[in-house]
Amino acid sequence: MEDRPELRQFLAKRERVDFADSITKYDRRFKPIKRDFILTPKYFYVIGREKVKKGPEKGQIKEVLKKKVEIQAVSGVSLSTRQDDFFILHENDADNFLESIFKTELISLLCKRYEELTRTKLCLSFKDTLQFRVKKEGWGGGGTRNVTFIRGQGDVATLKAGGKTLTVSIGDGLPRNARLRNGGSWRMKTVGRHPAGGDK
């Protein structure tokens, strides 16, 4: 936010920022669009950039508020069981299919704020076939889109869109029983005897 003071215009004067980062939003055709995402104790904001069409600033690129949503209006978050950076924020009128390398931090903070405001836990759903609703825009708008996650190679997601389905292929990542050591390296719990060459 220090590097991008122009984003402050969309927030209340003393509104505290819990999280702010550039993320990727996917539209109804799975086209990636860069957005700025800001989370505060009561709202999340999605900010885009558009060319001014008229007036003295015509032709200039300006920040535009795409969404301001109350945190308690979020009905849930859908994620895959894999190591990707994708998630879907579900809300009343439409859903947001997003990608962020700080997915874990963002969702942790969102859950914390949601619980403070509603006294209930935010619903997190982990499945490898996700669905999101798109806004009704013009004739034939609305409906749903599917995102399917399949086993691939490596830790970089490969995307393939076809019709109303996006297939995301990515490697398995760490097993569920992996724990972060104090020194920051990962270890796996092993049951029974240690694998050859493993930590004793």
172 vs 35 pLDDT, higher one: 35
Is residue 171 packed enough to be buried (19+ CB in 10 Å), middle (13-18) or exposed (0-12)?
A: middle
Note the pLDDT of residue 4. 85
What confidence tens digit (pLDDT) does each residue in 88-119 have?
A: 999 987 899 999 999 999 999 999 999 999 99
Residue 83 scores a pLDDT above 70: yes
98 vs 6 pLDDT, higher one: 98
Residue 193 scores a pLDDT above 60: no
Percent of the chain with pLDDT over 70: 84
Average pLDDT value for the chain: 86
Note the pLDDT of residue 67. 94
Note the pLDDT of residue 138. 54
- Break the chain into its structural domains and give their ranges: 8-127
What confidence tens digit (pLDDT) does each residue in 137-192 have?
A: 655 566 899 999 999 888 889 999 998 999 999 887 766 676 666 655 544 444 44
In sign, the C-alpha dihedral spanning 191, 193, 199, 200 is positive
Asked whether the whole model's pTM tops 0.85, one would answer no
Note the pLDDT of residue 135. 79
CA 70, CA 174: separation in Å to the nearest integer?
34
Reduced 3-state DSSP string for the chain:
CCCCHHHHHHCCCCCCCCEEEEEEEECCCCCEEEEEEEECCCEEEEEEEEECCCCCCCCCEEEEEEEEEEHHHEEEEEECCCCCCEEEEEECCCEEEEECCCHHHHHHHHHHHHHHHHCCCCCEEECCEEEEECCCCCCCCCCEEEEEEEECCCCCCEEEEECCEEEEEECCCCCCCEEECCCCCEEECCCCCCCCCCCC
Please compute Rg for the chain using Cα positions.
Answer: 20
CA 48, CA 45: separation in Å to the nearest integer?
10
Note the pLDDT of residue 184. 54
CA 37, CA 43: separation in Å to the nearest integer?
11
As a residue count, the chain comes to 200
Residue 181: φ, ψ to 5°: -75, 165
Residues 6+ apart with CB under 8 A from 182: none
Q: Using alpha carbons, select from 78, 58, 64 the residue that is nearest to residue 35.
A: 64
CATH topology of domain 8-127: PH-domain like (2.30.29)
